[in-house]
Structure 1
Amino acid sequence: MSRSSLLWFTNNLRLDDNSVFNAVSEDTKLHCIYIHDPRIELFFHLGEKHLSTHRAQFLQQTISTLDQQLSTLGQCLHKIDGDYLESLTRLVQQHSIDKIVTSRHTGSYEQQAIKAIAKRFPHLQIVVEETATIFQESQLPFALSDLDNSFTPFRKRVEGLVIDQPVTAPTSLPPPILQSSIRKPVELTASVHGGEVAALRHLETYFNSTAPLTYKETRNALDDWQSSTKLSPWLAVGALSCRRVIARLSEYESQNGANESTYWIKFELLWREYFQWYALHWGDRLYAFKGPHNRNPLTSYYAERFRAWREGHTHYPIINAAMKQLKATGYISNRARQLVASCLVHELAIDWRYGAEYFEQQLLDFDIASNWGNWQYLAGVGADPRGHRQFNLEKQTEIHDPQHRFIKSWDGNKDCQTTALFDYYGDPLWPVYK
């Protein structure tokens, strides 16, 4: 039967290991789209309506790269600005679409749009592929409703599962319903450039080095490019498949030997995996002040304290350095993220959601599940069985920046504000009820 299909790209902006292409391979015509819903740039707690320059540029590079890749298969990617549901509705009606194929997403807006479009057009076939996780839900040895409340028991239950090999990129696609005119040339110059081409290049560069053999020892470095994999920006937008990373890691271990560091790369990917299922399991509770277990943090909102935190003018030089690095580059290390989150929640007593939103705005590697799940974890309202994760910032400075090289590099000692100044300006502006 003749089918006109709509392929809606969301968090799967790649050709490699992307099962959505199998779902459209037999269709007659295909319309490939990416929808930019303005709600993704609406930061309620920050009172702002824009992504950081770094994140916006990385995303645009990724979209443009995918468009160029699709052009080699006779296809094109249409970028649409508008509400998810209304955009899908218009396209279904304009092009007599009878099937929508997309990737399973942890975002509420994306999930709501799929449910609503299915209800609005009962004749539509809706295909939702799992492209952002190592495992399919059907492979998990438990129902999603029985997801473990913390990472360790989850890891023990899935670590021994067989991981499917990544599927190869398509060699052909159905012809387009409508040609696109958005194509722009993509030049790969920066070390962190959006798109699958840059992702696969970086993957090979990393695994052609000795860095994986020392990952566990170096991963907590604050300002060293080779200290960690730096794969997260491409994983976050779906320009790189986590199964492709696992496959390349296995190949590396077979050639160079496995050790605790190479295992730790997989360990961190399993952390990412856990938060993907955590987000799908808890839904909107991912954004709740009290978290999924109704734990009440003793925090509020203090405008001056938050402003000092985001601009890097707190009482803590290591925090200031990290926040200035984040604003300047769109990236900070995992250890730095833990420290600045701990500072915001436990030292400055600020509602963790403000920090989560600021990270969402700024980070190149923003991922809904990992970002909000980790912030809940650090705030003591999420997947941490201890319920409280506070770092001694002076001790952490001694461990990770004993010579203050990181602090000096990012002017962490400049314009520090005292605790007394925080207290003077720091009355909470509004109470938190939920």
Structure 2
Amino acid sequence: MPGGMDTTDRIDNRNIEDRNLKKRIELLERNLEDTKNDLIDAKNTFKKIMNDLTKLIDSRIQIYMDTLNSNNFNEKSETESVEPKKIENNQVEKKDIKEEIKEKKLDISKFIEEFSQEFDFINKDEFNDEMENDEIMGKIIELIKRMLGIKDNEINEKKKEIAKLNTKKDELENNIKTLNSNIIKKENQNKLLEEEKVGLERNIANLNHKVNELETSKNELEDDIKNLKTEKTNLNNDLESKKEEIRKLKLDKGDLTDKNSKLNEENKEKDKKLEQFMKLFEEKEKELKSVGDLLEARKIYDKYLSMETRILSKLDNVLIQRDFESFISSGYSLSSLDNVWDIVKIEYKNISNEDKETLKEIFSFFLNQINKRFKEAKYGLVQVEAGEDFDAINQVDLSQNSKGKVTECIFYGYGFLKEKENPNDEDIIARIIKNPLVLTV
């Protein structure tokens, strides 16, 4: 059914939107993770550089202090009198201190070599000279202290940004969980809708099969009627031929009397056959009309079942919805039509335009079927066109105005038809039973 196809389209569109949202969230999570890793790598690199610089500065300070101690030691050795053995020990200790200072300077030179390779824009010789300069080293120490303060602030800011990103990530993960829950609910709803769709399609297939059977029966009846019409034409032609023979035979007297009597008998038999044919023709014609009415009723019944459930519940005791036969039998009654009119009058604001048109079609169909019980139509619809002046006597204004122009005919009225002198005369309402329902302005 069309309604079913629309539901499926809406479900497919929602599924596509949910998948696109999940992809965007996953991409954002990967970007957040990459940013976090980059910040951690930068932080580790910076820490390594700062540790190496700290070691270098500590070594430079230690060399400087050891050099001072060595000079003091030499001055003291020159001014004091010492025993040969002590002098020898002092010389050994002095040699050890010099060797230690030399090793530390080698370590510093090794660091300068590696540092210069890491940062190729640094001149190794100039950097070594500057590291030997006490005044420059003092400035470097102060600069590094300030840099450490600044970098710590930057690291703290980065930590805050990472914390915010982690908070945002947690919010997104919660949103993803909520979306996944909603997706599961929607998938369950889709399954139910698919099951309902399969059931409806099965019912439609069954109804279509019945309609095809009725169409086949209708075609067969039409073929029978065509054959009967052909036979009728042949009989009429034969009858005319016989009559012509009778007219000729009447001119002959005497010997032709017996023949004339025989022909008259044949004519009577032909008349009987023609009469029988006419009866059969009328029966077939009525049967064909009945099949046409049945097909129309079937379509109306399908429309009726597609109306809004709330309105169907109001009409359930008036037009029975259980099956097609119950619907037909309950509609062949003026009291049922009166009840439909009363329900529309009360519920018209809650009935969609499409459902109102369906109820109008049902009302008109059953009134027409009731008229077929009589030799001539007894009842007729009362309609009002938009733009007509409101008639307070013959119309019911649902807008509760006392005058004005009709803006819409909500529902038909009906009444008794005036007897016709000529069957081709226009239908005229002699007395209204139910006034039409209108809106005015």
TM-score range, shorter chain: under 0.3
Whose helix proportion is higher, 1 or 2?
2
Provide TM-score, normalisation by structure 2: 0.20
Instruction: Work out which structure has the larger RCO, using CA pairs closer than 8 Å and 6 or more positions apart in sequence.
Output: 1
TM-score (structure 1 length as normaliser): 0.20
